[in-house]
């Protein structure tokens, strides 16, 4: 697969092809948010008080996408 670097927003006139697949973790086995790097997005199967949630790294903690609270 080719690799292209863009500067600025990306627009598609025909839609984007393919699925976005995120790494899946539990709260207990999620990698260090610092190691993953700020802006990394993951799926945490029990990160919203036992319910599934998308989470992002702020460079220190994994934050819930809905509230910004740390996953638990």
Q: Has residue 49 been placed in a domain?
A: yes
Contact 38, 48 (CB under 8 A): no
Q: Has residue 39 been placed in a domain?
A: yes
- Provide the domain count of the chain: 1
Q: Has residue 34 been placed in a domain?
A: yes
Q: Has residue 51 been placed in a domain?
A: yes
pTM, full prediction: 0.76
Residues 20-56 have pLDDT tens digits of 899 999 999 999 999 999 999 999 999 999 999 999 9
Contact 56, 39 (CB under 8 A): yes
Partner residues linked to 25 by β-bridges: 44
List Cα–Cα distances, 33 to 15, 17, 43, 62, in angstroms: 31, 29, 13, 6
């Amino acid at each position: 697969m080719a690799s292209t670097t863009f500067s600025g927003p990306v627009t598609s006139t025909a839609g984007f092809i393919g699925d976005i697949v995120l790494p899946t973790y539990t709260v207990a086995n999620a990698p260090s948010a610092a190691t993953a790097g700020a802006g990394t997005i993951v799926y945490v199967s029990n990160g919203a008080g036992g319910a599934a949630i998308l989470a992002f790294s702020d460079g220190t903690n994994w934050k819930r996408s809905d509230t910004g609270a740390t996953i638990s």
